Amino acid sequence: MNNTKFTVLGSGNGARAWCAQIAAKGLPVVMWEPLEATEDYLKLKEEKEMYLEGDMNIGGKLAGVTMDIEEAMDGADFLLVIVPSFAHKPIFKKMIPHLKDGQNIVVVPGNFAGFRLRKMMKEAGVERNITISEMTTMPYACRIRNYNTVTVYKKKFALGMGTSPKEKNGYVTDVLNTVFAGYVEYLPSDNLLEIDLDNCNCIVHPLPVLLNYGEIEKNGDTYRHYIDGITPLISEQVMMMDEERLVIGRKLGLELHSCLSQLKMFYGQNDSETLYDYVHSPDSPYFDLVGQSVDSRYIKEDVPGIVVPLMLLAKKAGMEAPICELVVKLASQLHGVDYVAEGTNLETLGIEDLSIEEIVKMVS
């Protein structure tokens, strides 16, 4: 373990937080900056340090900071891809030529990255004996405070992760649990699809924005997505959509977890029975989350990136997903964008010609 080398691909809030987390264990970690040689980047390259503050206070020395992906990946055992999901494709394109047998890729959060990476490797004619892991979500809500310090508002207690091939999941989970020991626990899942579809964002993000569109347009700066947007009735509608997701999961042979149970796993157990109750409970991390927009990524990313593939998988399995479909249609109508055509569809994942069994097997 002490010889395990990590590379974080990305330089945003989450990527820097992971650098600090790994560095705190005295493990070698290199940060790859994908875009520009910013002031932050130049200082980090010089000083090679990263820290967390707030809900967690740890940090340490980095092994290096580079914009050269080949250098960043060279000799790395773990490649941690920690970027918004719209950046997966361009980063995978740069990453694939330098992949080596035996490397372990972890995508945080997953968002169907496993399918996408395998498809892109196939298209690029690159065959490697690698593992691909995904997480359901980021382990913390955090924001960069200054170039070498990330404020962690709230860490999650536990979250799910899966690996393809499945027999390597124990190993990858053990490594990450060692890195995060005492802070976050990673719970093994059966396959990547389970991780992809256990994404709560597609449930708790779009519908409340759509049903509060007017208020968000008027008072976006002070509007609180969870506290103002998830009313008792909207909580019920959101839970109905979640139930639809769980039914789709069962039909696909996956063991999914309700959003409410995931929120309790992330932020603390209590006896809330509805999302509304949980959001207003003492364990809620949402009281101070202010600001929303009708063009928010809660729609622009979560609808095409998660609701659309969930709906398309349901259709492939011969099921109706009326609430997902309604959310996609309404978001498409309001944004004047065809989110099915623009979204993560079965073609972009390279699974349009596969049966459900073949799809699940592919990421097991």
Partner 1 sequence: MKFAVLGSGNGARAWCAQIASKKHEVVMWEPLEETEDFKKIREEKEMFLEGDMNLGGKLAGATMDIAEAMDGAEFLLVIVPSFAHEPIFRKMIPHLVDGQNVVVVPGNFAGFRLKKMMKEMGVEKDITISETASMPYACRIDTYNTVMIFKRKFEMKMGTSPQSKNSEMCRILNDIFEGYVKYLPAENLLEVDLENINYTLHPFPVLLNYGEIEKNGKTYRHYMDGITPIISGKMKKLDDERMAVGAKLGLKLQDCLSQLKMYYGQNDTDTIYDFVNSDQSPYKDLVGQSVTGRYLTEDVPGVIVPILLLAEKAGMELPVAKLAVELASFLHDVNYVEKGTTLETLGLADLTVEEIVKLVS
Question: Which stretches of the chain bind partner 1, using CB under 8 A?
Answer: 208, 210-215, 217-218, 228-229, 231-234, 237, 294, 322-323, 326, 329-330, 333-334
Instruction: For partner 1, give the closer residue by CB, 230 or 260.
Output: 230
Per the CB < 8 A criterion, the answer to whether 2 and 72 are in contact is no
CA-based nearest residue to 103, from 30, 32, 17, 7: 7
Instruction: For partner 1, give the closer residue by CB, 124 or 341.
Output: 341
Minimum distance from residue 288 beta carbon to partner 1 (Å): 19
Cα–Cα distance for residue pair 210/217, rounded to 1 Å: 11
Minimum distance from residue 227 beta carbon to partner 1 (Å): 11
Instruction: For partner 1, give the closer residue by CB, 193 or 209.
Output: 209
Minimum distance from residue 233 beta carbon to partner 1 (Å): 5
Instruction: For partner 1, give the closer residue by CB, 186 or 286.
Output: 286
Minimum distance from residue 259 beta carbon to partner 1 (Å): 18
Minimum distance from residue 342 beta carbon to partner 1 (Å): 17
Instruction: For partner 1, give the closer residue by CB, 49 or 295.
Output: 295
Burial of 342 (0-12, 13-18, 19+ CB in 10 A): middle
Instruction: For partner 1, give the closer residue by CB, 11 or 212.
Output: 212
Minimum distance from residue 228 beta carbon to partner 1 (Å): 7
Contacts 24+ apart (CB under 8 A), 358-364: 359/193, 359/313, 360/191, 360/193, 360/252, 360/253, 360/254, 362/115, 362/118, 362/164, 363/114, 363/115, 363/162, 363/164, 363/191, 363/192, 363/193, 364/164, 364/165, 364/166, 364/190, 364/191, 364/192
